[in-house]
Structure 1
């Protein structure tokens, strides 16, 4: 079973994709053990064959059926557990701490360029293919410009707070 995370689904009034329809798309592509968690694009399933190919097929199916492209980033349960364990910041409030699952590890020079963006009391760190974030006052009141940092990193990603990451692990146990 893998955890497939869709970027920017059902947030801010754009990219509407009902989870029942996401489950149908995944099943139609040959996935088994299909389920979703909350409406923000968290798909749990066993993909047929290569996970990367399934992710690309799912991106194309969403684009074809709904008219918008959204990256799909997937990880094994073990990779998600390792990312959670590697979170480098003290967790004061789980909903203030996030893991952004990236499509690839950013280049060192991209990380250096992103470090130039002011963050206030917010903190971030890239570890492999994940960017860990701790917001001082929560994601709703960020001091750092997450989008600017993401653009400088040069790789797409999708963030989940630590509570959601833990729940996804619990659901795949």
Structure 2
């Protein structure tokens, strides 16, 4: 059995697209997954499965959510080894930063670094970003809500066709912990 994290995009924000965590746990259990748990209310779940295919796991969860709630939710599923690798590869001094200053945007597929060439990175300093394996690391010293760089990076032209969802560093670290085998 492999431990996975399901990252749901855009749920429970401002009272829209409500997915209660107890129901999410029930849906994952109903799909045959074990050791199901959720973290926070923002769409983070962990579970064990023999499947081994992250895209199939994500697609089955998306279908279950749509059938149950009547609306679609994009989901990314990543195994614990991948999450550990993302944490280990962080190009910023995570141990010295507050969790709200560092974020990771997870992508459904690799993103062409050339797409980010149009971003005038020096114009946004001290905010910075770096690309990783299906991930973008974002350092925002004053938090995400005030970040002009985050607004620029959120433009769909940078990653057309890819699903993207972000988590702050505290959540990334917790998901690494919760997906340890």
What SS does the aligned partner of 1:54 have?
A: helix
What SS does the aligned partner of 2:149 have?
A: coil
Aligned to 2:112: 107
Distance 2:48 2:151 in 1: 31
Structure 2 unmatched ranges of 5 or more: none
What SS does the aligned partner of 1:133 have?
A: strand
Aligned to 1:134: 139
Q: Structure 1 residue 27 and structure 2 residue 29: aligned?
A: yes
Work out which of the residue numbers 45, 59, 62 in structure 1 matches 2:62: 59
Moved more, 95-104 or 82-91: 82-91
Structure 1 unmatched ranges of 5 or more: none
**Alpha carbon RMSD of aligned pairs, Å?**
1.9
Distance 1:67 1:147 in 2: 31
Q: CA 1:148/1:111 → structure 2, altered by over 3 Å: closer, same or farther? A: closer
Q: CA 1:101/1:148 → structure 2, altered by over 3 Å: closer, same or farther? A: closer
- What are the within-5 Å matches in structure 2 for residues 68-83 of structure 1? 68-83=71-86
Q: Structure 1 residue 125 and structure 2 residue 127: aligned?
A: no
Aligned to 1:146: 151
What is the TM-score normalised by the length of structure 2? 0.85
TM superposition shift of 1:48: 4.8
Distance 1:52 1:109 in 2: 25
Q: CA 1:4/1:101 → structure 2, altered by over 3 Å: closer, same or farther? A: same
Aligned to 1:162: 169
How many residues align? The count is 172
TM superposition shift of 1:149: 3.6
Over residues 84-123 of structure 1, what are the superposed CA-to-partner deviations in whole Å (9 max), with x where a residue is unaligned? Answer: 111112332222101111101112332324x258635321
Moved more, 3-12 or 119-128: 119-128
What is the TM-score normalised by the length of structure 1? 0.89
